[in-house]
Amino acid sequence: MPDTKYIAIVDDHTMFRKGLSILINLFPAYEVLFEAANGKELIDKIDPDRLPDIVLLDVNMPDMDGYASAEWLRVNYPDVKVLALSTMDAETAIIKMIRHGAKGYILKDAEPAELKQAFDEVLTLGYYYNELVTRKVMQSINHLIDEKSPLNAIVKLSDREMEFMRLACSEKSYQVIAKEMFVSERTVDGYREALFKKLNVSTRVGLVLYAVRNNLVVL
């Protein structure tokens, strides 16, 4: 790959992001174009006239997480490759990122050589599916066949339902959650009732426990 390929790093942990930037700039033919702390910063910083070749995208971030950011990139800049980056190896997170357009998924504790390989394969093959992703995806096929599987319910949740779930796992009142989501309290009630029905829970505590058990939130 003689031409320089440009990487954007989107991660809310500053020290990790800076260290990753130094590492990537050491890779031959790769250069970090810019860094962002979340999806909203990504939108502010991305330049249509100088797009990154790959966006290295954290899954769990405040304000605008990896799922929403990957979906925004898929809709607005489909030629930009998204490589998901996370501490989570849960199949729900992997499947949802792939559903939203990620071309690969790599853990934060991966060796530098694997990250470089992921970059190379995303650009040459169009995807990077390591043993972890392949195994999780294959496992999910059986789960998705079972209508009672938790994974089946999770992958059918909308982005707004996922956003409400994460906010519901905080100490914020439903009134505050409605304001942060820029919707009415009645709409928030609708999200809550829809989640209770889809996930087969009956209380906010039950919803929080479900989210934690399935690695949908980090408390």
The domains of the chain, with CATH numbers, are 5-142 (3.40.50.2300), 150-214 (1.10.10.10)
DSSP symbols for 29-78? TEEEEEEESSHHHHHHH-BTTB--SEEEEESS-SSS-HHHHHHHHHHH-T
Longest dimension (CA), the chain: 57
CA end-to-end distance (rounded Å), the chain: 42
State the pLDDT confidence band at 115, using cuts at 50, 70 and 90. Answer: very high
Q: Provide the 3-class DSSP secondary structure of residue 12.
A: coil
d(CA 125, CA 137): 18
Q: Which two tokens stand for residue 72?
A: 């925004």
Lowest mean pLDDT among 33-42, 174-183, 194-203: 194-203
Distance, in Å, from the CA atom of 17 to the CA atom of 62, rounded to the nearest integer, reads: 15
Q: What does the block give as tokens for 165?
A: 């779930």
pLDDT tens column, 40-80: 999 999 999 999 999 999 988 888 989 999 999 999 999 99
